């Protein structure tokens, strides 16, 4: 089995407005099995557009203008994501690649109990499962993410931000995907809850063996949890290296500026170069 899980080659996305906006420009990268790949850069640099584009979640006026996306399945098959029809793509999502969207409160249905929302995943993607089997899976998922089955009948507004984010992680884990894409999963959470969520993501990754693409503008956070980090600027990946290399020996000026923009706890005060 290949060590590579996902191969993206010369991938470009344009927003077809007047004038057109090149949001992602000829991006190429590979994601390894079981690794956490951080995707960092300032707001508007194309991080989320790239992640959505790879999963074909973009809506007009966004247009994929070039590039290939190959998913190297654990079964040994290579899946050309761009060649899947609508029904094949529906089955592919959540089963092979899942997504934790930014803003859990907006991603969850506010008028449906969380147990039912998790159950819906199995009804759609595992129709052969009995109601009893689905219930057991939902309870297990809520225990895995430390929400607890007693919250099955809760509505999203009855949960804290951290608990809602855990429910989204449970939903993404439901079908045991090989890749989980996480778009700013700790935004708007306080630092203690952020720490708990990050610790849990790392633990679940070790337990289930999935890969993670972790999108954020918070470079110090990525330095802590990622195996490798891709730095994006104006739609392009300007540097891709291990977390240690990014921290100790950054090569691109933009990476250096990102690192310099975060205050240090020790040492003399510095001046950010603009």
Residue 75 CA, chain-centre distance (Å), reads: 23
Contact 97, 139 (CB under 8 A): no
Per the structure, the count of domains in the chain is: 1
pLDDT at 106: 76
pLDDT at 266: 65
pLDDT at 89: 94
The end-to-end CA distance of the chain, in Å, is: 46
Residue 150: domain span: 108-176
pLDDT at 187: 74
Q: Is 168 a domain residue?
A: yes
Enter the pTM of the model.
0.91
The tens digit of pLDDT for each residue in 55-105 reads 999 999 999 999 999 999 999 999 999 999 999 999 999 999 999 987 766
Q: Is 124 a domain residue?
A: yes
Q: Is 138 a domain residue?
A: yes
Contact 251, 242 (CB under 8 A): no
Q: Is 81 a domain residue?
A: no
Rg (CA), the chain: 19
- Helix ranges (DSSP H) in 209-249: 219-225, 243-248
Q: Which residues of the chain have pLDDT under 70?
A: 1-2, 104-105, 188, 264-274
Q: Is 140 a domain residue?
A: yes
Q: Is 143 a domain residue?
A: yes
pLDDT at 267: 58
Q: Is 150 a domain residue?
A: yes
The tens digit of pLDDT for each residue in 11-30 reads 999 999 999 999 999 999 99
């Amino acid at each position: 089995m290949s060590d590579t899980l996902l191969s993206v080659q010369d991938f470009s996305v344009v927003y077809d407005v007047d004038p057109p906006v090149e949001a992602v420009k000829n991006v190429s990268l590979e994601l390894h099995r079981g690794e956490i790949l951080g995707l960092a850069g300032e707001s508007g640099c194309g991080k989320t557009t790239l992640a959505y584009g790879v999963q074909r979640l973009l809506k007009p006026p966004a247009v994929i203008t070039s590039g290939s996306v190959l998913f190297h399945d654990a079964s040994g098959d290579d899946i050309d994501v761009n060649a899947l029809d609508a029904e094949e793509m529906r089955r592919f999502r959540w089963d092979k690649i899942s997504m934790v969207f930014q803003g859990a409160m907006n991603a969850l249905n506010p008028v449906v109990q969380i147990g039912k929302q998790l159950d819906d995943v199995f009804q759609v993607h595992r129709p052969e499962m009995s109601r009893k089997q689905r219930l057991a899976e939902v309870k297990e998922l809520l225990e895995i993410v430390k929400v607890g089955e007693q919250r099955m009948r809760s509505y999203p507004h009855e949960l804290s931000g951290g608990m809602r984010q855990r429910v989204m992680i449970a939903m993404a884990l439901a079908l045991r995907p090989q890749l989980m894409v996480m778009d700013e999963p700790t935004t708007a959470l306080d630092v203690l809850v952020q720490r708990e969520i990050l610790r849990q993501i790392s633990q679940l990754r070790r337990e289930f063996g999935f890969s993670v693409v972790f999108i954020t503008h918070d470079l110090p956070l990525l330095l802590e949890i990622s195996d490798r980090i891709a730095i994006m600027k104006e739609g392009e990946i300007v540097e891709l290296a291990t977390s240690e290399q990014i921290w100790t020996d950054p090569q691109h000026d933009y990476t250096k500026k990102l690192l310099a923009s975060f205050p240090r706890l020790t040492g003399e005060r510095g001046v950010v170069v603009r």
